[in-house]
Amino acid sequence: MFKLCIIALVFLIASSRIDGSWPVKYDDPSCSGNISVTDVDRVQFAMNLEFTEAEFFLKASTGKGLDAFNATLAKGGPAPVGAEKANLDPITNRIIEEFGYQEIGHLRAIADMTGGIPRPLLNLTRENFAMFMDRAVGRKSNPRFDPYANSLNYLLASYYIPYVGLTGYVGTIPYLVSFNIKRLVAGLLGVESGQDGVIRTLLYERQDETVKEYGGVTVAELTNEISNLRNELGMCGIKDEGLCVPPWLGAENRTSSNILAADPYSLSYDRTPQEILRVMYGTGDEHRPGGFWPCGANGRIARMFLDKGYYGHCGACSADN
Ligand SMILES: *[C@@H]1O[C@H](CO)[C@@H](O)[C@H](O)[C@H]1NC(C)=O
Ligand SMILES: *[C@@H]1O[C@H](CO)[C@@H](O)[C@H](O)[C@H]1NC(C)=O
Ligand SMILES: *[C@@H]1O[C@H](CO)[C@@H](O)[C@H](O)[C@H]1NC(C)=O
Ligand SMILES: *[C@@H]1O[C@H](CO)[C@@H](O)[C@H](O)[C@H]1NC(C)=O
């Protein structure tokens, strides 16, 4: 066990991309989260992520998407694209199925309290995951990375999603005014961070395995690369860390083990809606949709930023603008 995190550490130092050499807008208002919107706008913004997780988890574990369980929650949003039943081992399947049902609960909770928003178009295709993964690693996978091919790939793909929701909730809570919405978001944050912790634990146990699509790259290295990509896209500094880090990023500077990502006080990182849009769009620009939300996210916050002349690459987008 003493070998854990050593190999990844060497790799990380060699690649040294986590040193902040990408564009960072620390003092930019987009990194502060102080936008003039209501509590309802803020919690509805989170539905974009909850819809994404619901579809990804439910389809992968049960073969059926959100609409098969509750046809009204999507509020007429377009059918999601690309999610599939994943080839999961029985334990992973049970865990992901539970997470999927939890996402339905989260969507219901937000919808019951605020009325909800239409589901945005979701791109959960293999190609989209492979595109993000290739960008993270800096080269094309061979064979092409398929998130639905096996449990390991699926967990690596899952590393992309609940963590972004977690940082969003942490960023949102300080700005909330209403007691009921604070209580709701605290409850959402608790389960979201639990999901992230489980996914990271399952990956941590397999940290030294290599991912064949990226010949020789280990699971730990890949998580660092994904986190680095999200830091780059978010543009507000380090908000994301892989499973193994240099000790100056580890808890109390005493460990390279990083099963949970956190700041120097071991508090969760926060992200603003703009950072979340930059990351999920994959464009590094909250005005330009793409990635998981090719036609843009929904709700007042996302639409406020969306460049009005920009309808993504799909004609269907103009329908709900
Ligand atoms: C947010 O911005 C408003 C208006 O500019 C200001 O009054 C308020 O103090 C700011 N809040 C924080 C936490 O910075
Ligand atoms: C779907 O969710 C809504 C909101 O919570 C709820 O009112 C409705 O009963 C649910 N439908 C089904 C079929 O569970
Ligand atoms: C989903 O993403 C892939 C990879 O970028 C792209 O080829 C495909 O056109 C996208 N699909 C939609 C509906 O946006
Ligand atoms: C850990 O190291 C960082 C950077 O070198 C420093 O800012 C921080 O205060 C240190 N934390 C502790 C608990 O010593």
List pocket residues of ligand 3, CB cut-off 6 Å: 81, 123, 125, 127-128, 131, 294, 314
CA of 287 to the centre of ligand 4 (A): 36
Nearest to 65 by CA among 78, 50, 54, 77: 54
Residue 312 has pLDDT above 80, yes or no: no
CA of 308 to the centre of ligand 2 (A): 33
Give the burial string for 255-277 (b: 16+ CB within 10 Å, else e). ebbbbbbeeeeeebbbbbbbbbb
The residue extents of the domains of the chain are 39-320
pLDDT digits (tens, 9 = 90+) for 234-287: 999 999 999 999 999 999 999 999 999 999 999 999 999 999 999 999 999 999
pLDDT digits (tens, 9 = 90+) for 167-203: 999 999 999 999 999 999 999 999 999 999 999 999 9
Put simply, whether the predicted model's pTM sits higher than 0.85 gets the answer yes
Compute the C-alpha angle 155/171/24, nearest 5°.
Answer: 85
Cβ of residue 74 lying under 6 Å from some atom of ligand 2: no
CA of 317 to the centre of ligand 3 (A): 13
What is the structure's pLDDT at 23?
Answer: 63
Q: Whose CA is nearest to atom 5 of ligand 4?
A: 248
What is the structure's pLDDT at 315?
Answer: 53
